[in-house]
Structure 1
Amino acid sequence: MRFLVIGGTVFVGRHFVEAAQSRGHHVTLFHRGTKGPGLMPGADEIFGDRDGQTDRLAGGKWDAVVDCCGYFPRVVEQSVKALADSVDRYLFVSTISVYDMAGRDRLDEESPVLTIDDPTIEEIRGDTYGALKALCENVVVETFGDRALIVRPGLIMGPNDVSNRFTYWVTRMAEGGRAVAPDRPGQPMQLIDVRDLGLFMVLALEKELGGVFNACGPETPKTLADMIDACHTLNLGTELVWVDPSVLAANGIELWQDLPLVMPADGSDEAMQRVDNRRAIAAGLAFRPWEATARDTLAWRRSQPEDGPPRFGMDRAREAELLSKLHL
């Protein structure tokens, strides 16, 4: 099959390309070139900005397009219109953040999605991200109908993830010493390896599927403790120091931000870790062990140059200061 990938040089798109090529498919990337040309060997490239330069796709013909980087309906509409007669199927990478999780303890593909008062807003914030993604889905479905494939991942982990959410725990456990962990070991945790997600997307296109699929990791009883244990295998000498979330909060440590992937202690956001993924599993979604993901993520991170402060996770000096202050 011939796939056009919008983006495809960062995280999800990158691993889709690798999975597609491993199965003998031909890939063309449409991207701005900011990550460097030739980043994905064997793929053709068309350089351009999806916002205003989709005319550069004119004359092409592909079996499917994979849209990895659509955040605003106005911008997604440009690619949808430009490709309406050039592709047979449109795969839009969305997110489980589209769901209205208020008052819910579990989610499936039929759960209601968020709405937004002003659909012209083009600023990604906590209160706009999910609703704007839902509007982007609508734009795709309005044109492609049952040829639209909407993939809603949950929390994604693995090589090339620069967010430092899962990577924080990988590097922290591997480093050794005494490591702070929030005393919420039973928190449900759904994580999917980006490579499993990429392969699922390829399989779904091969089967010419349409509709909505929650592409989330294994459902509960996977827990926060399971995730930390998987990372802990990288260095069993690391000593875990479990600290009550209320004590962490009293000392200015923010769950999710300073200790990534940890939900509020009141459990109010746990619905995003209890997502029904049976439809995707039936369509071919499969999972590798979290220990393998941790090992491969560490190898990737160690191969990268040191950069600026990460988006998530506290530094070691702050962690040591906390442990000293608490006499732990």
Structure 2
Amino acid sequence: MDTALVVGGTRFIGRHTVAEFLDHGYEVTIFNRGNHENPFADDERVSHVEGDRTTDSALERAKLEVDPDVVIDCVAYQPKDVRAATQIFGDCDAYVYISSGAAYGVEEAPKREDDTPLCDCTPEQATDDSAETYGPRKAEGDRAVFAAGDRGVQAMSIRPPIVYGPHDYTRRFDYWIDRVKTEARLLVPYSELRHLVYVKDVASAMRVIAEEGEAGEAYNVGTHTLPLLTEWVDAVAAELGRDVEQVRVGDRELDAVDLAADDFALYRDYPHVLATEKLEALGWEATPVAESVAETVAAHPDGEGRENGPDRETEERMLGVLETF
């Protein structure tokens, strides 16, 4: 395999995926609508085909122009997108669909690819685009991959939890970086274990799956360790050389200022743990947390992310209330 088509390719996961395949000697083509700045515009190793991935004829044109060995699908948000792609790219050496840990339909720990049930997906949910139907839509996309595998298509999926790292436009992890940078005392809600994954590890996992994975299979991806939210904050503080006090709060305390624990970025009320042995058996390895946090902190633009949690004024009121308890 030596040519890769990345559907998406200019933002966050797609951007790192392009870099991963370039680093391993692939010729890479990005396929997207061209609505976002292309960080590879001046890189002669990267080609660009413009088109709307929701239009089958545009995908077919990309297939004819590129004739890719590998297709990485970063922006399939409805099941019909996956069904179309697995038909159009059915003779490629590998098609990898980015699903999600949200595709799992029950809360258990850990969630395992071959044991934990997926979300159901109604016809109405399958064509929706709201956050509430994200998990069901991703699960139905997985089922499209399984069906393609049964037809002999080398189609596979990857299920990441929340992804963090440089160029993350969601800025969820950045909330805590900003807080550690700017404040000495932080409110941190009591939170259950929540698997995260470094964006470069998702990119490397997709390459490993494309090269070594089995048709019709899904693969979880996540950090090797499971830091608590407080430990993620500690890791950020250690990288920044900051001495911060974490003030732990629960629902009772937060009620006093009309806050809830899920107002804070990365909070989780039930453990979300993904078993990753299946992916590791293919030879994939995760980046150590200290290294991934260092790279994420280094790339953080000052001020970014603070909108993903309570404003500082409310936080100060909460800290004041706690002093009266």
TM-score range, shorter chain: 0.7 to 0.9
% identical equivalent positions: 26
Q: Could you list the per-position Cα deviations for residues 44-98 of structure 1 after superposition, in whole angstroms to 9, with x for gaps in the alignment?
A: 110011112324314231111000111111233333333224x221101101111
Question: What is the CA–CA distance in structure 2 between the aligned matches of 1:217 and 1:249, rounded to whole Å?
Answer: 33
Task: Tell me which residue corresponds to 1:201.
Answer: 206
Question: What is the CA–CA distance in structure 2 between the aligned matches of 1:285 and 1:252, rounded to whole Å?
Answer: 44
| Among candidates 106, 112, 121, match of residue 108 of structure 1 | 112
Q: Could you list the per-position Cα deviations for residues 228-249 of structure 1 after superposition, in whole angstroms to 9, with x for gaps in the alignment?
A: 2111212422222222333124
Question: What is the CA–CA distance in structure 2 between the aligned matches of 1:119 and 1:244, rounded to whole Å?
Answer: 37
Task: Check whether the contact 1:191–1:218 (CA below 8 A) recurs between aligned residues.
Answer: no
Task: Check whether the contact 1:84–1:144 (CA below 8 A) recurs between aligned residues.
Answer: no
Q: CA deviation at 1:250?
A: 4.2
Task: Check whether the contact 2:166–2:300 (CA below 8 A) recurs between aligned residues.
Answer: yes
Question: What is the CA–CA distance in structure 1 between the aligned matches of 2:126 and 2:281, rounded to whole Å?
Answer: 37
Q: Could you list the per-position Cα deviations for residues 194-232 of structure 1 after superposition, in whole angstroms to 9, with x for gaps in the alignment?
A: 111211211222235431111122254x32232121112
Task: Check whether the contact 1:3–1:27 (CA below 8 A) recurs between aligned residues.
Answer: yes
Residues 1:301 and 1:308: Cα distance change in structure 2 (over 3 Å): closer
User: How is 1:53-64 mapped onto 2 (pairs within 5 angstroms)?
Assistant: 53-59=58-64, 60-64=66-70
Q: Secondary structure at the match of 2:209?
A: helix
Task: Check whether the contact 2:70–2:210 (CA below 8 A) recurs between aligned residues.
Answer: yes
Q: CA deviation at 1:136?
A: 1.3
User: 1:48 aligned to 2:55?
Assistant: no
Task: Tell me which residue corresponds to 1:263.
Answer: 268
Q: Which AA in structure 1 matches 2:220? A: N
Q: Which AA in structure 1 matches 2:36? A: K
User: 1:182 aligned to 2:217?
Assistant: no
Q: CA deviation at 1:307?
A: 7.3
| Among candidates 159, 164, 186, match of residue 157 of structure 1 | 164
Q: Secondary structure at the match of 1:28?
A: strand
Task: Tell me which residue corresponds to 1:322.
Answer: 318
User: 1:294 aligned to 2:293?
Assistant: yes
Question: What is the CA–CA distance in structure 1 between the aligned matches of 2:264 and 2:69, rounded to whole Å?
Answer: 42
Residues 1:204 and 1:81: Cα distance change in structure 2 (over 3 Å): closer
Question: What is the CA–CA distance in structure 1 between the aligned matches of 2:202 and 2:10, rounded to whole Å?
Answer: 15
User: How is 1:69-148 mapped onto 2 (pairs within 5 angstroms)?
Assistant: 69-85=75-91, 87-102=92-107, 104-110=108-114, 111-119=116-124, 121-145=126-150, 147-148=154-155
Q: CA deviation at 1:8?
A: 1.2
Question: What is the CA–CA distance in structure 1 between the aligned matches of 2:323 and 2:129, rounded to whole Å?
Answer: 40
Task: Check whether the contact 1:175–1:235 (CA below 8 A) recurs between aligned residues.
Answer: no
User: 1:31 aligned to 2:37?
Assistant: no
Task: Check whether the contact 1:72–1:136 (CA below 8 A) recurs between aligned residues.
Answer: yes
Task: Tell me which residue corresponds to 1:17.
Answer: 18
Q: Could you list the per-position Cα deviations for residues 81-129 of structure 1 after superposition, in whole angstroms to 9, with x for gaps in the alignment?
A: 33224x2211011011111124x33310121111123256432345411
Q: Which AA in structure 2 matches 1:19? A: E
Q: Secondary structure at the match of 2:268?
A: coil
Q: CA deviation at 1:38?
A: 5.2
Question: What is the CA–CA distance in structure 2 between the aligned matches of 1:130 and 1:183, rounded to whole Å?
Answer: 25
Q: CA deviation at 1:294?
A: 2.4
Question: What is the CA–CA distance in structure 2 between the aligned matches of 1:37 and 1:92, rounded to whole Å?
Answer: 22
Which protein has the bigger helix share? 2
Question: What's the TM-score once normalised by structure 1's chain length?
Answer: 0.86
Unaligned runs of 5+ in 2: none
User: How is 1:209-248 mapped onto 2 (pairs within 5 angstroms)?
Assistant: 209-210=214-215, 211-220=217-226, 222-233=227-238, 234-248=240-254
Question: What is the CA–CA distance in structure 1 between the aligned matches of 2:255 and 2:130, rounded to whole Å?
Answer: 23
The aligned length equals: 313
Question: What is the CA–CA distance in structure 1 between the aligned matches of 2:206 and 2:126, rounded to whole Å?
Answer: 29
Task: Tell me which residue corresponds to 1:8.
Answer: 9
Q: Which AA in structure 2 matches 1:192? A: V
Question: What is the CA–CA distance in structure 1 between the aligned matches of 2:135 and 2:190, rounded to whole Å?
Answer: 29
Question: What's the TM-score once normalised by structure 2's chain length?
Answer: 0.87
Which deviates more, 284-293 or 1-10?
284-293
Task: Check whether the contact 2:162–2:196 (CA below 8 A) recurs between aligned residues.
Answer: yes
Question: What is the CA–CA distance in structure 2 between the aligned matches of 1:120 and 1:173, rounded to whole Å?
Answer: 39
Question: What is the CA–CA distance in structure 1 between the aligned matches of 2:90 and 2:250, rounded to whole Å?
Answer: 53
Question: What is the CA–CA distance in structure 2 between the aligned matches of 1:226 and 1:81, rounded to whole Å?
Answer: 44
